[in-house]
Amino acid sequence: MNREPSTRGASRLADDVAHARSVVLVYLCSALLFGALLMLELRWVDQSIAAVARERGAALFSLIETTREWNARHGGVYVAQTDQVPPNPYLSHPARDLETADGRRLTMINPAYMTRQIAELAAAVEGIRLHITSLDPIRPDNRPDPWEAEALQRFEQGEAEVLALTSEEGEPVHRYMAPLFVVQACLQCHGAQGYAVGDIRGGISVTMPARALTALRDSQRERAALLHLGAFVLAAGLIHGLLAVNRRRVREVKGINAEQERVIQRRTGELAALNRDLAAEAAKQRESTRQLAASEARYRAIFEHTAEGIMVLDAEVRIAQVNPAFCAITGYAVDEVVGRSPSIMASGRHDEAFFADMRAQLAREGSWQGEIWNRRKSGDLYVQWMSVTRIGEPDHPEGYVSTLTDITLRKQAEERIRFRADHDALTGLPNRDLFADRLNSTLAGAIRHGHRFALLAVDLDHFKAVNDRMGHLAGDALLVEAAVRLQACVRESDTVARLGGDEFAVLLTELAGAADAEEVAARICDLLARPFALAEGEARVSASIGIAFGPAPGADLETLRRWADRALYAAKAEGRGRFRVYDAGLGGEAARV
């Protein structure tokens, strides 16, 4: 007699354990997901800070290189000799020192000497150190330190620039270095050393204080950590709540099923007893009839007033009876479904194998439950949780009782959660993770079928100025409009994604040739260069684009991204608002189109 409560307690305990495991799994998966997103965000912050330092160093190097070329083209310039500007003892030139007609003594300033003079001025005013150096210096003070020597060797191997964050005397500094190439004017001084035009003569290192940038980096990292922690708590909490609601509803359905089984068993027993005792117990007929009526009243109360739809099927699997909740969920009236097959509600989403598995489980275990898509009378599709219980023996079923619950809203909520996990919250574009997945699939398909595709790295120029001048709300509105314009430039089969900040990426699949990608890039540059009419006023930006084509021999996803980024940096270096194509056949150089 105590077996049923014991079984019920064991079932509830197993349910509690399963629920606890689900909750732990939700929090663990959420922690892993948002932890991975945080790592990507921190990596992006570091890359952004490095890009600022690289751009600053490159600008200083370009300025020095331009002044050196101007000096070299003039064969050196003359200035008055002073204590601060004595004759250059390392300059061998027959006209190094001159005297003017009025007795003023002039000395020649060659490019290297001029660079040292500028470096001393920059160090005194800005705290920036410039050092011209070479693996074969003429002047001893131009000998490279270990970091510079390593950078010079990397230039010999083909690298275009070197950037590093180091510490000097306890203070963080960014060190940037780029090579100096021999031009025709340089041969006046260095021709005797055996150099030819195009050789790497040496390089100029730029050492810049980095405390402000590292402080900005740390602040951005802290903000990213707080945002991801808040998102993790919110997402995990919502899923936890949904699990709790679902658990409660499942328990309610199980309770109704158990009550139905008890009612059916009770009715069967009462009817059997009535038939056995009918002849001999005529006197008790009235009492038995009353008991039967009471039992039917209880059954009818449950049948008519439960919130779940109930459908009773006969042995031929035709609808024999439905309750009001069934009519409310499906939209069918009672006389429209009685005597007909449940297939009138079929959605077409399940194949014959699905229903064969359902029938097999009913025959084997006597019950089945799960999600199933059906169609309302109006034609609308919806998803429901259905439980089916067999009446009778496996070989001779007398019928079936099915309960159904509309879970469309819950499924829609789950779909919204999945969409938010894969898409950018501001623009609705695919985020970095979804874009990486599509890029990986495109690369695999291109290798397998011989298709060609293009990866476009798109960066908005001058976006920070819009944010600073008009505010972050205007910046967000500009990003949303930029996303719309980007999508207008591509086909439906292509992918536009926002990787973060003002950084976008475009994946063009199944290209007929390189000209297709170049046409899209040109269209993007033109469209994004047009004014943005924002609520705060008119804003203007442009787009710098780097293009990499795939598949390429030995090039994986990271290589393609690196090629596209390198071409993007080349486009920015040339003045922004344009695109560059990475040409692997040119030894890693980006060729302008």
The pLDDT tens digits along the chain (593 residues) read 555 566 667 777 887 888 888 888 888 998 899 889 988 988 888 888 888 878 877 887 777 777 776 877 776 787 777 777 788 776 767 767 777 888 788 887 777 767 776 766 666 556 788 888 888 787 777 889 889 888 888 988 888 899 888 888 888 988 888 898 877 656 556 555 666 777 787 888 888 888 888 888 888 888 989 998 999 899 888 888 888 888 788 778 877 877 888 888 888 777 778 778 776 665 676 666 676 566 566 666 566 767 788 888 887 889 888 888 888 888 888 888 888 888 888 877 788 888 888 888 878 888 888 888 888 888 877 788 888 888 878 777 878 888 888 776 666 666 666 666 788 889 999 999 999 999 999 999 898 888 899 999 999 999 999 999 999 999 999 999 999 999 999 999 999 999 999 999 999 998 988 999 999 999 999 999 999 999 999 999 999 999 999 998 878 889 999 999 999 999 999 999 999 999 754 344 444 44
Q: What are phi and psi of 288, to 5 degrees?
A: -65, -40
Per-residue HEC secondary structure of 298-313 comes to HHHHHHHHCCCEEEEE
Residue-level pLDDT at 373: 83
Strands 542-550 and 537-539 come out as: unpaired
Q: Which among 337, 341, 412 has a CA at the least distance from the CA of 381?
A: 412
Reading across the β-sheet that carries 105-109, which strands appear in turn?
A: 77-80, 105-109, 97-99
Beta strands in 62-199 (DSSP E): 77-80, 97-99, 105-109, 129-133, 162-168, 171-181
Closest by CA position to 232, among listed 433, 38, 425: 38
Burial of 133 (C-beta count, 10 Å sphere; 0-12/13-18/19+): buried
Tokens of 476: 């967000």
106 close to 67: Cβ distance less than 8 angstroms: no
> Are the beta carbons of 498 and 427 closer than 8 angstroms?
yes
Distance of CA 291 to the CA centre of its chain: 66
pLDDT of residue 122: 64
Cα separation, 152 vs 129, whole angstroms: 18
* pLDDT at residue 79 in the model: 79
Cα–Cα distance, 424 to 497 (Å, whole number): 8
* Residue among 326, 339, 338, 425 nearest 376 (CA): 326
C-beta atoms surrounding 317 within 10 Å: 13
C-alpha span between 414 and 403 (Å, rounded):
23
Distance, CA of 482 to CA of 545 (rounded, Å): 14
Q: How far is it, in rounded angstroms, from Cα 88 to Cα 110? A: 9
Please give the CATH architecture assigned to the domain spanning 423-592. 2-Layer Sandwich (3.30)
CATH fold of 307-408 reads Beta-Lactamase (3.30.450)
Tokens 């090039």 correspond to: 555
Before 551, cis peptide (omega within 30)?
A: yes
Q: How many residues does the chain have?
A: 593
The counts of H helices and E strands in the chain are 15, 20
pTM value surpassing 0.75? no
Which long-range contacts (C-beta less than 8 Å, at least 24 apart) are formed by 340-345? Answer: 341/317, 342/311, 342/313, 342/317, 342/402, 345/374, 345/375, 345/376
Is the C-alpha dihedral spanning 365, 369, 372, 374 positive or negative? Answer: positive
The single-letter DSSP state of residue 91 is -
What are phi and psi for residue 374, nearest 5 degrees? -130, 175
Domain boundaries along the sequence of the chain: 21-217, 307-408, 423-592
